[in-house]
Amino acid sequence: MLKIGIAACFFHEDPKRAIFKGMTLQYIEQNVAHWLMQRDVLALMVPSPEGRTRRAGSKASVEAYAAELDGLVLMGGSDVCPESYGETALRPEWNGDRIRDGYEISLLRAFIAEGKPVLGICRGAQLINVAMGGTLHQDIGTQLPHALNHRDWNIYAENCHATSFVPGSRLSALYPGASLVKTNSVHHQAIKDLGTGLVVEAHSEPDRVVEAVRWTGPGYVFAVQWHPEFHAPDDPSFIDDAPILDDFLAHAARHKAAAFSI
């Protein structure tokens, strides 16, 4: 059985919170775990090894998790901090979570070093781009006024648009005969300058916002801007996300098999 790690989201210390007052919480959204668990997978949250209560001498590290697990998912959540790509937040509410950025970039690099696959979802796609030296539009509505509304809080995961595949891309090969699909859209930030070694494999239509990227370096690093875990499997109007899941897990299985054969 494959063991797939899911990078944690953070609720930082908040003295006004009704429960766990003054404590930092780390969590995952259950749909991500359940999406992975459709297959023969143990889904495991990867807590950040850093924190004020960590004991001296602990051997828990991102490198240790990368050595133990078979793959990594970087899920959605808070904004990527503009400081992580050399900018200042245009508004205070877009300042994001730089602590989480650093934790996830370290995780990403650790899994790449192990040759194990990484799949990014929404924020995960943006984080991968930033980790590779790219930048983001801090707010689509402000910086790309011609664009579609990519996040509507009133309908959230029901907000959707058309997405096109780049011809000849690995993503397009997973969907033979399909050039245009329907995906959900719950983000207000987007990839601006592409990171080193990344190629675009999908765009939203007709505004051409980047919807999927793949790393061309050794190993498997792929990311989508939409949320495959939010798509209802019984709604045929949406893209079938199973080929993306199966492709990611196939890379994890091959790496695991190769390691056992050594």
- Positions marked catalytic: 122, 227, 229
Query: What are the tens digits of pLDDT across the range 62-79?
Result: 999 999 999 999 999 999
Name the E strands within 91-242: 118-121, 136-137, 160-165, 180-184, 190-191, 198-205, 210-215, 221-224
**pTM reported for the whole predicted model:** 0.95
> 190-233 pLDDT, tens per residue?
999 999 999 999 999 999 999 999 999 999 999 999 999 999 88
CATH of the domain at 77: 3.40.50.880
What is the maximum span of the chain, computed from C-alpha positions, in angstroms?
Answer: 55
Does residue 127 have a pLDDT over 70? yes
Q: Tokens for 33? A: 């775990």
Type of residue found at 143: Q
| Whole-angstrom distance, CA of residue 72 vs CA of residue 117 | 6
Our count of domains for the chain comes to 1
Question: Three-state SS for 49?
Answer: coil
CA dist 89 and 219 (Å) reads 33
Q: Which domain holds residue 117?
A: 2-261
